[in-house]
A and B are shown apart, each in its own frame.
Chain A
Amino acid sequence: MTDAITVTSVSKSFPIPFQRRPMVAVRDVSFRVEAGQVYGLLGPNGSGKSTTLKMILGLVRPTRGTTEIFGRDSEFVASRTSVGFLPESPYFPKYLTGEEMLRFYGKVCGLGGSELRTRIDTLLELVRLTNARTRRLGGYSKGMLQRIGLAQALINDPKVVILDEPTAGVDPAGSREIRDLILDLKARGMTVLLSSHLLEQVQEVCDRVGILAQGELVREGPLRELIAIENRTQLVLENASVELIGEIETRALAAGAQVVEKRNSETTLEKLFLEATQSATRR
């Protein structure tokens, strides 16, 4: 597997005015994102997620260490030929329509003509904004803005997309759409690096995660391994009689295992919310 993104012992400190000791935002962080993976960078507010992403994009220069995209140092513009970026709570000119905004970003990437036109059509279709293409961004909802922002990141058909809190401020239905889009991108072989503090969502899409705390990478690895509890197994049954459950329990105890937890399955609040709001819109 080739590495799409390599981060090697990067640190970043920002000088604080009138103080000798700088503020260390990122401290000796290393990780790799393999091509085709979805990687989640987690951490509380101020833990250095955005700073790390900005270093990878060459917007901020690391104090120490290096970052690379497909083997090209982020210091060079050439490293960004195949990257898309959606910053956290971005702002796009309100007076542009969705289509005009995508055209601008396309031209900035050196695209033009019919190639750009078909690209814009495809992307608007992908983020389901074809109907809103001639509307001004000022009238877009937060979810629509986030989706057009994602389309903007994809305009030059990049191999890697970097998303900083892609679902911040978006309602559950909207974040589900964004999550599905991310899975869609992964299915097309794209590499995704995203930051978030919404753990459930990360759990649903990411292959691998890194957890930052106060600028340090405190955990890193494949999601399954990180959250699996080796010596426990879950068994979910439907329509099982009380007798059957009793029987299973006795067999388990006889075999020397312990029943740690026994309860009715619950739906998640997210599923409940989506069911309720969807039936309301249908009515």
Chain B
Amino acid sequence: MSELPHTAFSLRRVGALTSNTLRELTRLRVFYVLLLFALLLIGSSFFLARMTFQQEFQVLKDISLGAINILTSVLAIVATARLLPQEIEDRTIYTILAKPVHRGEYMLGKLAGVLLLLAITTLLMSALFLAVLYVREHTVLAETARQMRAAPPDHLEEALRNVRASAFNLNLLPGIAIIFLKAALLAALTLFVSTFATSNIFAVVVMVFVYFIGHLEGTAREYWQQEHGTGWIASTFLGLVALLFPDLQLFNLVDDVVAGTPILPALFAKTAALGGFYVTLYFLLAWAVFYRREL
């Protein structure tokens, strides 16, 4: 066998690293998160039974989307934080980087593995949630039909239409997509932090800070701008802060979705682009630090 031609980027190499990362992560029993989610759904349905159907669907969406939001964020941080420190401790990283693998490819494989894991868990949780919503919707429809047996057909029609309208609406899907994007952003940022963190605990602690700052930032900025106006120094400063501490509140479209406000395509596109920008930025930063890193 002659020497393999060496290319700057190989999809096969990255693919191997990605599937290996995904496999390693699934060994972590991260899927307990899904179990937790299922228990939450089942548990909540007990006390939902006493509400009107509008309230019931509302609360169901509220709890489910809130849980998906928090669980994917936690998963993104916890799963990513240990990837690099673990491989360095086990010295497996030596065997991988001693092969003709670019460090960028290695990082890309790690990130893609985590994103794949997040996509799978988000999809599974959403499927579970939508299935419960569907079942409840049909139970309520059947019940309404039974109760209004005697009512005139157009009254019944309208009642059924009301039930359908308050259950599933298409807006849930972009809402869930944005939740995934927020988790992806947190994963990329965690990867960046873990390139210079000395332990995974440190990375997790930093990320918890970033998470809280990210959620308070929007409010703080408004307050600042009211007090100090919007000079270019202030804007530049706030812009810099926003680079390292992304305004996570911007990714919080779920409240609107639950309230029934439609997500405008322009807003969705803007948020998605922002998420994509952050993921790319943090990946490049992680790569830059890791490129110089001694192992």
Contacts and interface: CB of A to CB of B under 8 A. Distances in A.
A18 interface: no
Given A110-B13, A112-B12, A78 B94 contact: no
A40 B98 CA distance: 19
Contact of A93 (B10, B24, B100): B24
Contacts, number: 92
Contacts of B90: 90-91
Contact of B15 (A61, A107, A109, A111): A107
A146 interface: no
B99 A80 contact: yes
A85 B98 contact: yes
Contacts of B20: 104
A88 B92 CA distance: 11
A83 interface: yes
Contacts of A54: 94, 295
B95 A85 contact: yes
A272 interface: no
A84 B100 CA distance: 10
Interface in B58-83: none
A90 B100 contact: no
A81 B97 contact: no
A89 B95 CA distance: 12
A85 B97 CA distance: 10
A156 interface: yes
B164 interface: no
Residue with the greatest number of chain A CB neighbours at <10 A, chosen from B12, B96, B99, B294: B99
Given A77-B102, A110-B100, A156-B99, A59 B10 contact: no
A110 B294 contact: no
Contacts of B98: 57, 59, 80, 83-85, 87, 162
B29 interface: no
Contact of B95 (A78, A152, A157): A152
Contacts of A82: 3
A236 B83 CA distance: 59
Residue with the greatest number of chain B CB neighbours at <10 A, chosen from A54, A80, A109: A109
A57 B94 CA distance: 9
Given A57-B97, A85-B98, A112-B12, 5 more contacts: A59-B294, A89-B91, A105-B96, A109-B99, A152-B95
Interface of B: 1, 3-4, 6-7, 10, 12-13, 15-17, 20, 24, 27, 90-92, 94-102, 294-295
Interface of A: 54, 57-61, 77-78, 80-93, 95, 104-105, 107-112, 115, 149, 152-153, 156-157, 162
